[in-house]
Every structure is written in C-alpha cells, then in structure tokens.
Amino acid sequence: MKLNDLRDNPGATKERIRVGRGIGSGKGKTAGRGVKGQKARSGVRIKGFEGGQMPIYRRLPKRGFVNPGARDLNEVNVGRIQEAVDAGRLDANAPVTVEALVAAGVVSRVRDGVKILGVGELKAKLTFEVVGASKSAVAAIEGAGGSVKILGEPVAQA
C-alpha cells in the first residue's frame, strides 16, 4: 500500500450540490428556496417565530433566580475522609487541603474549594485547611484531636 493509493470507502463522502447553476441542474433559479418572501432572502433568521402567536418563551412565566456569585463547592463528609485515611490514600500528618483530597481521589476536581460536613465518624487526628465546615464537622474534627482552619474567599477561576 502506498500513500497515493489511500481512498475513502465508496459512499463515505457526498458531493456538494451546487445550487443556482442553471435550470438543467434541478437546483437552478431559486436554488431550492421556493419563491420570494423573507425566507428566500439571505441572512434571515426567524428563531422562535410562531406565525404571530405569542411565542412560548413569552407565554411561560419567568421563575427562579440564578445567583452569579454562588460558590461551587465540593461537599465531603468526615466519614469519607476517614475511609481515605484508612485506605492509605490520604496522609494523616499532612494538612488536608483541596489538592490533597483531589490527589487522594476523594473529590474529582478543585472547583471553588471544599466544605467539610459532619456525617460519619472521624478517628484520625487531622489538620484541615478548607473553605468551610459545618458545626458538626468541626465538633467531630476537634473531638478527634484535629483542627480546622477556614480559608478566606477563594479566587474565582476563569
């Protein structure tokens, strides 16, 4: 086989139809656009037009609110962190940060930080450096002899 012998499989590509090239082509004169009117012209979009009827996006009520400043946090329970420590994926001597949790496979990506929640049991003495922690999580961590350092507002990632 040579490079100049390479071909697509038969029927893999279709020839482009050249419109507006004479009546004999079958796509001449109006080029498949019908006759006259707005849609026969170039550069026209009638998105959402329903023939004068009130469009659906105006018939339906607006609802809800999307907070543009909301933080997208990873929420992790203390029981999940204890499992990672028991499995040896998380170093009990190093501080528990978002990067450490990603490396341990507890969370999939960094996002805007991590918030620790109090479901489960924590036996290991750990130092946490996180964006947030619930009261029950702080109680569980301090009960195991660890400490929690709440970091300031994280820098939003573009």
The CATH number of the domain where 105 resides is what? 3.100.10.10
Domains: count for the chain? 1
DSSP, collapsed to helix, strand or coil, labels residue 75 as strand
64 pLDDT band (50/70/90 cuts)?
A: very high
Extract the tokens encoding 37.
Answer: 């009117």
Q: What is the mean pLDDT of residues 78-89?
A: 95
DSSP, collapsed to helix, strand or coil, labels residue 110 as: coil
- Asked if 151 and 129 touch (Cβ cutoff 8 Å), the reply is yes
Q: Mean pLDDT over all residues of the chain? A: 91
**Cβ atoms of residues 122 and 144 within 8 Å:** yes
15 within some domain? no
Q: Is 46 part of a structural domain of the chain?
A: no
**pLDDT for position 152:** 76
Q: Is residue 45 part of a domain?
A: no
Residue 157 has a pLDDT of 56
63, part of any domain? no
Segments forming the whole domain that contains residue 80 = 74-150
Residue 130 located in a structural domain: yes
Instruction: Please tell me whether residue 128 adopts helix, strand or coil conformation.
Output: strand
